[in-house]
Structure 1
């Protein structure tokens, strides 16, 4: 699945803000890949989730969250992801490539990212092979999910983009 025009434009507009700004734009809001939900729901793995994929003991099941609260949760949630990814990637990457890795690690967890073939290929200099690895991560709760397939395709497009002209 290609990036929608609205998401592509949003990503291009945030490029000057660095990889974190791109990741927030990619993940958050009404047209982000997480799909913002203002009330808590159980995800496909049965985990209480709200906003742009926020999980944890602080999720309030009967609360309606605001955009500001969701934005703050996403920014806070991405900080340890950024630190982990940045500490483990040993080769230079563009902002879009790094943002794709933040999105992926945010979704699968930093432990899974750390132990992934994707990271091994990336640090060996095989960027295209690493980006292709994203397409293997489409299972949740033992099932293959169309939503994860679409997300990984979008992350792969971002991962392969060295600049805004490469966004597909």
Structure 2
């Protein structure tokens, strides 16, 4: 369903503090995020929302647990490290950053301690997000029925950041 057609006024996403700071420093405070109009997963509802792997609340809680538990086998933090590097590669190919900036981001993603991957909940106005929206192909969603959207180059002025707990 197009972002224009959903009724929910708010979209939610979770990013890490490190990703946020890299976006701010290297990408001109423009942010890339997967988002959904649902904060959490409601498995009791007949209306399917999003599975746990796409739920901003579940992602937030998983990241926080990996940090609090000093989990050396963490999965979300490792995925975020890889995602930061992949994003840097894409930005380099698009000519949005230099090779030096790319190399710095890669090094930062590898050397930054897990504590810098603190989760940040992003609360986004759907109306402001429409101009930055990209459709997520059904094959790329966590569940074919879930409502997932990509926002690319979203300015920080279009969303608020909340720390839970």
TM-score (norm 2): 0.33
Structure with the bigger percentage of helix:
1
Structure with the bigger percentage of strand:
2
TM-score (norm 1): 0.33
